[in-house]
Amino acid sequence: PGARRLLPGQRAAAKKAQAKLRGAAMANLRVALLLLVGLSCVAGLLPGAAPARGAAAGQQRAGSVTMAGAAALAKKTTVLEGVKENMDGSALMFCVRSEGLRVNELNDLRMKLPEGVRLQCVKNTLVNIAAKDFEQFNAEGLDGLLHYSNYWFFATEAGMRDSIKVWKTFTEESGRKESGEIVGGIFDAQVLDGKGVEAVSKLPTKQELMGKTALLLKALPTKLARSLNEAGAVRIARGLEQARGQKMVRAVKAASEKLP
């Protein structure tokens, strides 16, 4: 009620006007969306935007590198402590080339090593660092052994001889007699070649020397008594001879005096 009624011609004109308004609104909306997309693309190319993203990426990469470096350092520290633990209490360390050695063979080899002997593949730099902390391995000329990739044997005094035997038996049975030759080693702060390592391994141990010394000391009183007895017998025999000789001299002298 009260509303003005439009004539049929007026209603058609009103509908056309509304359609035009809706079309204009949609066109304006599309233009606005295009402007927003364009501005976002331009913002990515502005001088102040790219460095911010680059800095964030750089910080992320730097953080990753730092974490990786810390993990590598921790791993090297752990390995170094293990090498020092093997050197501690060892009298001889010698190396062989690692080329061609398989994991299963090395596991079998470790099982055959004498008690107290350790086998480890160690980087040359870590061997050089660790050796400086042990008087028996801090040798001049150690750098001459630190080439290529090596497996190191850490042998106690009691296990030196048997560790060499185990390795030589392994090389003969596996067909590596030539390629498996001992490169060299360190004993008593002296750098040795392969032949020197074998020669040192044949030396008597302290226990063996102590045993021989004990036997000699035990046999010494008997030998001394025998020597004294023999010396006494010689002196007695010499005295008897002298006595017989003196009697003979006196007898001859007495007989000569009785002669006319």
What pTM, to 2 d.p., does this model score? 0.58
Query: 184: which strand partners?
Result: 95, 193
Kindly state the tokens that stand for 139. 């040798």
Radius of gyration of the chain (CA): 50
Angle at 178 between CA 175 and CA 179, to 5 degrees: 85
- pLDDT at res. 68: 74
Helix%, strand%, coil% for the chain, nearest 5: 65, 10, 25
**Which regions of the chain are under pLDDT 50?**
1-3, 45-46, 49, 252
Q: In this predicted model, what pLDDT tens digit does every residue of 145-203 receive, in sequence order?
A: 999 999 999 999 999 999 999 999 999 999 988 889 999 999 999 999 999 999 999 98
Residue 185 contacts residue 198 (beta carbons within 8 Å): no
Kindly state the tokens that stand for 220. 């010494």
- What's the rounded Cα separation, in Å, for the pair 18 and 30? 19
- pLDDT at res. 257: 58
